[in-house]
Structure 1
Amino acid sequence: MDNWKAVLYLLASGQGLLLSFALIIKGLRSQRANLFLGLILYTISLELLNAWGMQVQYHRSPDVFPFWVFQSYLILPPAIWFFAHYSTVSDYTFRRRYIWAFAPALIDIFIQLSWTLSRRMTGHQLPPLLDNSIWFFCTEILPILGTAAAVGWFGHQLTKLFPIRSGRFLPLGEFVKRYSLFVFLAALTVLWAAGVLFKRPIFSEIELLLTLFLFVYAYLGYANSSYFDLRVAAKPKPVEKAAFPQFDDAKQWNRLETVFQQEALHTQSRLTLEDVAERLRLPARYVSYLINKQHGANFNQFVNTLRVEAVIRKLNDPAEQHKTLLALALEAGFNSKSTFNQVFRTHTGQSPSHYLTRVTRTTNPA
């Protein structure tokens, strides 16, 4: 049985590490939330890899590579905190000075690595770092308390944005997407605290939880590339009209709508506010104000609404039903499948494929 457990731990941790590196790279390039989600998965994947090492007694092998020193529980509290902000706070921005929140984790890793290398180079049997009560408190107790606080705040924000008991019911897939990570982190924190603080023998339960989570979460991500796109829609910022008293809002809004209808500007994938302003020969700031006032949204949200409406019209048009969803999305002005999926879900509350299934059932009843 132990051999099977070791195989499962190795497969799950390997899958988790691959996914974490992919998310970290993606987060460094564009979507910052993925960076912190990747750090969370990296930490728990190394924990499970360490469990594999203990199962097969890898740690006792000669010339062993000490991968476990590159893990620090101190990564979890700030990573969860920042990920929660990106997932629940519109227009949240990660500032450079926030990187100092990860300094304790880097110090922890550096000291562990130095301690291990010193033991190898000198041959001296140095005492384990965890035997030091101060070190144990800083690297074992504080991460639990910090993680509990971050997870608690995450849950509070989720229930504010997506209430479980209210008239705003989320589709099942969206509900799972929004709450699955929180439920996992909450369960992990409770088990973690029970094992470390109350000395309960529950580490096999933690390892099982990590294994199941990494397999299921990775599968969901591979099956749907937009699964990890959790950021809430940004709230439009009001724009003052004080500098443009000479314009008639109703007249200019009619001009703007006419131009979009006749020239289908929204189908241009790289359309900018400046492009529209130049076409109407109006100041860009005034066009932004006009869209905000008349449509209650910023420029990007306004254009994406038109694009989604164009896709929906074609989905309901029998003459267009031979085309794929991706083809319709590109024709409407979206420049990628992931962006289209995310925007469509934001505007309709369901995925494009789910909407297409409903349309198909309506037009082709059994």
Structure 2
Amino acid sequence: RIILTLLLLGFLSWIVLKSMYYPELFRSIDTKHLLVKKLIETSPNKQTSDDKFVIQIEKLQKYMETEEPYLDSSLTIHKLANQLNLPFKDISILINHHIGKHFFDFINEYRIKKAIALLENPLNEKLTILEILYDVGFNSKSPFNTAFKKHTGFTPTQYRKNIL
């Protein structure tokens, strides 16, 4: 038992040490990334990079409005980056530092705008709040209500009653 326990303890210690010294083995993490703040500050031509980000913001907003990727309830920043053919890091910097929002707040803003349009349309009067939240890309009622109230100041039910 002692030998088996020592072997097991040695093996577990080896795994822990390997994961500490080589995290990319286990999580595909590139430990050589620079901090975003340093990337933005050390940009060689700040004016050119600012123009690049303005163009990318316009591209992102146009894509969000025309293609409506936010309707996919499993949308991630990686999927959005692939759809836009932009590096994941650029999308992250764009949304977090230049638009000033977290990814899910950015996506939820578009979802709530779509939900408001559905609630205000008299043809959708028979749609339930649950159907609307699934239609706009939310998976459950609680996050939908929270995001809706944050954006409008009302719950979806209160909002619907106010517009009728």
* TM-score strictly above 0.5: yes
- Output the CA distance in 2 between the equivalents of 1:240 and 1:342: 31
Unaligned runs of 5+ in 1: 1-237, 361-366
Partner of 1:295: 99
**Does 2:131 match 1:334?**
no
Quote the sequence identity (%).
33
Question: For 1:233-272, what aligned pairs fall within 5 Å after superposition?
Answer: 239-240=36-37, 242=39, 245=43, 248-272=52-76
**CA distance, structure 2, for counterparts of residue 239 and residue 338 of structure 1:** 33
The structural deviation recorded for 1:333 is 0.4
Q: CA RMSD in A?
A: 2.2
Which has the larger Rg?
1
Structure 1: distance between partners of 2:111 and 2:141: 13
Separation (CA, whole Å) in 2 of partners of 1:241 and 1:284: 17
- Mapped to 1, the partners of 2:155 and 2:129 lie a distance apart of 11
Give the residue type in structure 2 aligned to 1:300. Answer: F
Partner residue, 1:14: none
Pick the aligned partner of 1:307 from 70, 94, 111: 111
Instruction: Tell me the CA shift for residue 335 of structure 1.
Output: 0.7
Deviation (angstroms), 1:293: 3.5
Amino acid at match of 1:327: E
Is the Cα contact below 8 Å between 1:239 and 1:288 reproduced in 2? Answer: no
Aligned length: 123
Cα deviation digits, residues 206-255 of structure 1 (max 9, x gap) = xxxxxxxxxxxxxxxxxxxxxxxxxxxxxxxx953717957501111111
Q: Map 1:19-168 onto structure 2 (within 5 A).
A: none
Structure 1 residues 319 and 285: CA distance shift in structure 2, 3 A: same
- 1:345, 1:352 within 8 Å by CA — same for their partners in 2? yes
1:253–1:271 distance in 2 versus 1, CA, 3 Å: same
Mapped partners of 2:115, 2:84: distance in 1: 25
- TM-score, normalised with respect to structure 2: 0.67
Q: Distance in 1 between matches of 2:63 and 2:84?
A: 8
Q: Deviations over 1:153-196 (max 9, x none)?
A: xxxxxxxxxxxxxxxxxxxxxxxxxxxxxxxxxxxxxxxxxxxx
Mapped partners of 1:261, 1:304: distance in 2 = 13
What amino acid sits opposite 1:316 in the alignment? E
TM-score after normalising by structure 1:
0.32
Partner Cα distance (2:99, 2:125) in 1: 30
- What amino acid maps onto 1:251 in structure 2? I
Q: Which amino acid aligns with 2:131?
A: A
Following the alignment from structure 2 to structure 1, what is the Cα–Cα distance between the partners of residues 133 and 152?
Answer: 15
Look up the equivalent residue of 2:37 and give its one-letter code.
Answer: E
Unaligned runs of 5+ in 2: 1-34
Cα gap change, 1:323 to 1:241, in 2 (>3 Å): farther
Q: 2:151 aligns with which of 347, 351, 357?
A: 347
Give the drift of 1:317.
1.2
- Structure 2 CA distance for partners of 1:241 and 1:297, relative to 1, 3 Å: farther
